[in-house]
Amino acid sequence: MLSNQLMRVACFAIALFSVFGKNCLTAQALPIAIDGLFEDWTSAAISLDDAVGDASGLDLLRISVANDETYLYIRFELDDLVVLNDNNDLRLFMDGDNNNLTGLASNGIGADLELRFGDREARYYFGNSSYTISLEELDFHHLPTFSNDVFEIAIDRQADPLGLAPLFSGDKIRLYLRNGTTGDRLPEQGQTFTYSFNDEPVEPFQPIDLQRLSNGPVRLMTWNTLFDGLLDSDRKPHFQQIIAVLNPDIITFNECWDMTSGQAATFMNQALPLGNLQSWKAAKLEDGNITVSRWPILQNWSVYPGRRLVASLIDLPDGDFETDFLVVNGHLRCCSANSERQLEADAFAEFILDAKSPGGSIDLAPGTPFVLSGDMNLVGDQQQYLTLLTGDIQNTNVFGNGAPLDWDGTELEDVVAIQADRRFAHTWEEPGNAYPPSRLDFHISSNSVLEAKKSFSLNTEIMSAERLAAFGLSAEDSRLASDHLPVVTDFEIKTTTAAIVSASQKFGFSASPNPSDDVVIVQWAQTKTGLVSFFIKQMDGSLLRKWDATFQAGDATETVSLKGLTSGPYLLEVKVEGRTFGLVLVKS
């Protein structure tokens, strides 16, 4: 008997190369998370590849299928970027009963369902009629929401669009992907791709404990309140109940249009009293964005005036932390406003680059952790997402040249939060809306100095009765509060010194002798000829000395004088090739 692996290889060959319409029956149960990361789509998934460049227009490259007890999962790859739920003609045909005699005759199958992704709808073929149905009727989910060349989708295996018969009536289905009427097909004309459901139990999902971690992580939460939800007497109790359970330290609220910072502080004092005569602190600079903190807010900045992008420096308790915490509260423009959203992403990158360099509107102490938190509305061009992570500024005439944003010269981390009770990362859903559930709310962090220890969003509608009772929640709490889910991350703050040393080691920087009472020789690898800037700072970030020098590509060496400085640690920042690195030098 063939092994499972050999059987899959044999089946792939039949599915890919058959010119006689032979079927390849394969199956695989996998614990897929719809999170836009694709890490769980292992080689065990059933896949079918298509020839590259075999059609004009969009080229379909691969389709993969898996299932668990509840959902059918499909992943497909393209040769170009598209927004899956807008402005494309991609269609997925599914023969849910594996019967050529029912449904729409198309590409050798009887398609009972035709998903029209770009139109955000489906056609259901039942009996001798066809019906336009919503994606919601299929419990359809997909990610990512912004443009990409790889997507994953989920469809409820119990879907019954007309309430007459289930879409998937047997243990086998056939499917194919098509671009428009005459574009590429996967599989090709005359071939079929059959998938057999595998009902072997997958690894059960372990619900995430809502309690905050001990030993000092900062719990950051973001929540779009949907048109002043905190002021709505009917919705306010649901917000308060959830906030009391989640117990955050800092919250970035969005859509608090008519709420003042004082009202926000009062709301928090009622929802989550701090005790000891302490009061929540709140800051509101831009329309709709309010940041609240259990700790003092030292300073606020309008990152891009009039654009719902503001920053607050939080004074963390000195006894527990050696640094402050910068929180950027963002609510980027929605929907088709791609150019406006790119400007806002560029402004964020410019602000962080300014914060890391002397001068400008803000100077952060080296290694200060920061997070972009809020409703990013990333539903258009992928570039906005990339700019927020990498600092790749597009409007350089307005915001200057981009550069990596983290302290160690790398990109920031998108902390992907799945729902606490299932493997889906969607944070927005509006029943009756043609747009399917989307991931709109983000925590994007400086992971060189922050570690996300736990992250989740809370959807009370899918929690078990036991879980609801344990936390004193009701199933309707999240739905009645807002169309967005609250997103929570417990961040552990790494020590500044450890983060700086880690960065220097990662990119080949060294300093010797260190400690020294005179001079230190700094060495690194220069990949191209260019100007390098040096800054000697106090450990609190205040600038003591600055100089520039030009270096050729190759091994580079600079002599740094410590003469005139008192004994103790100092921070040497080196700005090279658009990146800023740091070394701790000790004057003996």
Q: Which helix or strand (DSSP H or E) is residue 13 part of?
A: helix 4-17
Residue 41 structure tokens:
């789509």
Check residue 27 and give its pLDDT: 52
- Amino acid occupying residue 311: A
Q: Specify the DSSP class assigned to residue 316.
A: -
What string of pLDDT tens digits covers the 588 residues of the chain? 333 333 333 344 333 333 333 444 345 789 999 999 999 999 888 999 999 998 889 999 999 999 999 999 999 999 999 999 999 999 999 999 999 999 999 999 999 999 999 999 999 999 999 999 999 999 999 999 999 999 999 999 999 999 999 999 999 999 999 999 999 999 998 899 999 999 998 999 999 999 998 878 999 999 999 999 999 999 999 999 999 999 999 999 999 999 999 999 999 999 999 998 899 999 999 889 999 999 999 999 999 999 999 999 999 998 888 899 999 999 999 999 999 999 999 999 999 999 988 789 999 887 899 999 999 999 999 999 999 999 999 999 999 999 999 987 789 999 999 999 999 999 999 999 999 999 999 999 999 889 999 999 999 999 999 999 999 999 999 999 999 999 999 999 986 555 555 555 556 788 889 888 899 999 988 888 999 999 998 876 788 999 999 999 889 999 999 999 998 888 888 888 777 777 878 888
CATH number corresponding to 4-196: 2.60.40
Check residue 144 and give its pLDDT: 98
Check residue 504 and give its pLDDT: 58
CA distances from 225 to 239, 257, 300, 423 (A): 9, 10, 22, 24
Residue 585 structure tokens:
């030098």
Closest C-alpha among 476, 432, 440, 445 to residue 457: 440
Question: How far, in Å, CA of 111 to CA of 125, rounded?
Answer: 7
- In the CATH hierarchy, which fold is given to the domain comprising 507-587? Immunoglobulin-like (2.60.40)
| Residue owning tokens 């469809």 | 155
10 Å CB burial of residue 2 (0-12, 13-18, 19+) is exposed
Question: How far, in Å, CA of 225 to CA of 241, rounded?
Answer: 14
CB atoms within 10 A of CB 59: 20
Pair 314, 250: CB distance under 8 Å: yes
CA distances from 105 to 97, 100, 111, 192 (A): 13, 7, 6, 13
Cross-strand partners of 559: 521
- Domain borders along the chain are 4-196, 218-497, 507-587
Check residue 4 and give its pLDDT: 37
- In the CATH hierarchy, which fold is given to the domain comprising 218-497? Deoxyribonuclease I; Chain A (3.60.10)
Pair 412, 406: CB distance under 8 Å: yes
Question: How far, in Å, CA of 480 to CA of 374, rounded?
Answer: 20
Q: Specify the DSSP class assigned to residue 139.
A: T
Query: Alpha helices, DSSP H only, in 163-248?
Result: 236-246
Question: How far, in Å, CA of 279 to CA of 275, rounded?
Answer: 8
Check residue 44 and give its pLDDT: 82
Same CATH topology for 4-196 and 218-497: the answer is no
Q: How far apart are the first and last CA of the chain?
A: 73
Check residue 503 and give its pLDDT: 54
| Residue owning tokens 């190369």 | 17
10 Å CB burial of residue 344 (0-12, 13-18, 19+) is buried
Please list, in sequence order, all residues whose beta carbon lies within 8 angstroms of the beta carbon of residue 100, skipping any fewer than 6 positions away.
Answer: 108, 109, 110
List strand residue ranges (DSSP E) for 296-385, in order.
Answer: 297-302, 309-314, 325-331, 370-375
Helix/strand/coil (H, E, C) string of 268-297? HHHHCCCCCCCCCEEECCCCEEEEEECCCE
